[in-house]
Amino acid sequence: MSAGPDAVDEIVVDIEGDIAVVRLNRPAKRNALNDQAILGLEAAFRTFGPGVKAAVLHGAGEHFSAGLDLSELVEVDLNAAIEHSRLWHRAFEAIEFGRVPVVSALHGAVVGGGLELACATHVRVAETSAFYALPEGQRGIFVGGGGSVRLPRLIGVSRMMEMMLTGRVYRAEEGYGFGFSHYVAPVGEGLAKAKELARKIAGNAGRTNFALIQALPRIAEGDRAAGYLMEALMSAIAQDDGEAKSRLRAFLEKRADKVAPQPD
């Protein structure tokens, strides 16, 4: 299933039970993101049906995404450049603050706008082939897809600044330690791991997932007093759900698994 009539070849969406699998589909361009792809992403993440409980985002071919298709910046005037950046902001906000949690499967290049896109997802699985970079500093430009807002919250302002000043490239293993990803998987196994996590997430209570992707980021970034109030409200709303009550009864009656470390 395509994301829409204007993005037939750029973005492909497949529904697998209660998860949606969204694929960047420009492998010959290392999944560089042009306007058509960005519009396709926004359309896809805004139009999931009610049966979709979680989503996976990945790239076709050897790379997740090499970032912005630079041909779209040539001869762009100031006003158009601002609108271009805002287009990316809207599309990535549809991912970060959309209806469902999103797991990304990263491999090969996760560079520039591709890294900005990955940062908009909630859980990131990186194959050992993945590498991260922000070459905008060497291109004479600046990030424009929300990276200056999202990435410092993951890796810190200083490390992002160093990446852009020097053109440094981080590999998957060291990137994991710095917060680029939550998991590292062998080459060829990232998508399967991402689907496994998405199915697990889809099994959570709906109100809990809503609180985690909508309320938690705003609580963490906002005023403490307001955060405590929002936390109390979200906690009460979640606990009042019939599904939550059923799950709590199952635990008390020893019909639910206890928390324990999982084997590697």
**Distance linking the first and last C-alpha atoms of the chain:** 35
- Residue 215 to residues 96, 117, 174, 193, Cα–Cα distance (Å): 12, 21, 30, 26
SS3 11: strand
Catalytic: which of 75, 136, 162, 231?
A: 136
Residue type, 187: V
Report the candidate in 204, 201, 197, 41 with the shortest Cα–Cα distance to residue 118: 41
Dihedral (Cα; 29, 30, 33, 34), 10-degree rounding? 0
Angle at 92 between CA 214 and CA 65, to 5 degrees: 130
Catalytic: which of 10, 42, 96, 116?
A: 116
Residue type, 195: K
User: Annotated catalytic, 16?
Assistant: no
User: Annotated catalytic, 116?
Assistant: yes
The set of catalytic residues is 116, 136
